[in-house]
């Protein structure tokens, strides 16, 4: 965990613009990103997967708020530092939530696809966030269904997820913090959208490393060639997560 540095230029957009002294070719941007949702939907696991690349089988409940910094390199020599705030699930009715989300550029709403109650409760988080911002100053919003590795227990249909995202102007994502499936691409997409960088599909997918250690692999099974199979070598610009 890193202490939250002060972010200049808030609320909303880039916290700092082009670096004008050392290297005028590279643009440095910083964004405050808030992750909200009910307790146990996997917020801390998601952030941990993105920032440390790992998954712990058991997590302590997040009390209050934690901060994490993570740098992403985007095509076009753009470095984005994401300051990610992990908001404890118990905060939806709490007095501090308004202070935590102040000045954020993006809010990531997380629910557990195996628990419809957590999907329903996204409403409460959404209502709170839109009350805090004027309509024209609303942060970028993403809707994240987590625990997609538990397909057999899935209770929130992808169509419901997509419809909700459209109706609430959120960018939809389906991920698994446990396997890492689409976690890097989620955060990369948020960073790119905030920075106004358009990524190709392969640039987004290349960021994802799916961990299959916990999944039974049949030795003779061929490696799939689909979107999450091996990617062709990149010819143009690339994005990297550090
Ligand atoms: P929170 O920060 O939203 O409160 P946590 O949630 O990250 O603490 O995760 C709550 C529980 O869900 C943890 O299990 C964690 O291992 C599990 N979890 C998180 N993400 C995933 C996922 O993608 N898939 C699966 N299968 N489990 C996940 P425990 O057992 O510690 O309660
Ligand atoms: Mg937590």
- What is the reported pLDDT for 203? 80
- What is the reported pLDDT for 53? 81
For residue 153, the enclosing domain spans: 27-198
**pLDDT per residue as tens digits for the range 18-43:** 444 455 688 999 999 999 999 999 99
- What is the rounded distance in angstroms from the CA atom of residue 32 to the CA atom of residue 97? 14
- What is the reported pLDDT for 19? 45
Mark the ranges of the chain whose per-residue pLDDT is less than 70: 1-24, 57-63, 89-91, 208-242
**Within-domain flag for 144:** yes
What is the reported pTM?
0.81
- What is the reported pLDDT for 237? 42
**Within-domain flag for 57:** yes
**Within-domain flag for 241:** no
User: 133-143: b or e for each residue (b if 16 or more CB lie within 10 Å)?
Assistant: beeeeebbbbb
CATH of the domain at 125: 3.40.50.300
**Within-domain flag for 21:** no
From the CA of 42, how far away is ligand 2's center (Å)?
7
**Within-domain flag for 159:** yes
For the chain, what is the domain count? 1
- What is the reported pLDDT for 201? 81
- What is the reported pLDDT for 8? 37
**Sign of the C-alpha dihedral computed for residues 136, 10, 187 and 161 taken in this order:** negative
Residues with CB under 6 A from ligand 1: 37, 39-45, 57-59, 61-62, 89, 146-147, 149-150, 176-178
């Amino acid at each position: 965990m890193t202490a939250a540095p002060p972010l200049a230029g808030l609320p909303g957009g880039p916290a700092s613009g082009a670096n004008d002294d050392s290297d005028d070719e590279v643009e440095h941007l910083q964004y405050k990103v808030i992750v909200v949702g009910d307790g146990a939907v996997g917020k801390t696991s998601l952030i941990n997967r993105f920032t440390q690349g790992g998954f712990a089988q058991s997590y302590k409940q997040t009390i209050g708020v934690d901060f994490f910094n993570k740098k992403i390199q985007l095509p076009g020599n753009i470095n984005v530092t994401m300051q990610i705030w992990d908001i404890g699930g118990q905060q939806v009715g709490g007095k501090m939530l308004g202070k935590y989300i102040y000045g954020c550029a993006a809010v990531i709403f997380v629910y557990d696809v195996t628990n419809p109650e957590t999907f329903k409760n996204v409403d409460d988080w959404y209502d709170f966030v839109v009350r805090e911002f004027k309509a024209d100053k609303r942060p970028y919003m993403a809707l994240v269904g987590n625990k997609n590795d538990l397909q057999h227990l899935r209770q929130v249909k992808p169509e419901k997820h997509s419809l909700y995202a459209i109706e609430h102007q959120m960018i939809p994502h389906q991920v698994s913090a446990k396997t890492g499936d689409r976690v890097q691409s989620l955060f990369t997409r948020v960073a790119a959208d905030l920075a106004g960088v358009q990524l190709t599909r392969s640039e987004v997918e290349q960021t994802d490393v799916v961990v299959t250690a916990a999944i039974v692999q049949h030795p003779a099974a061929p490696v799939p060639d689909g979107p999450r199979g091996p990617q062709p070598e990149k010819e143009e610009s690339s994005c990297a997560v550090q």
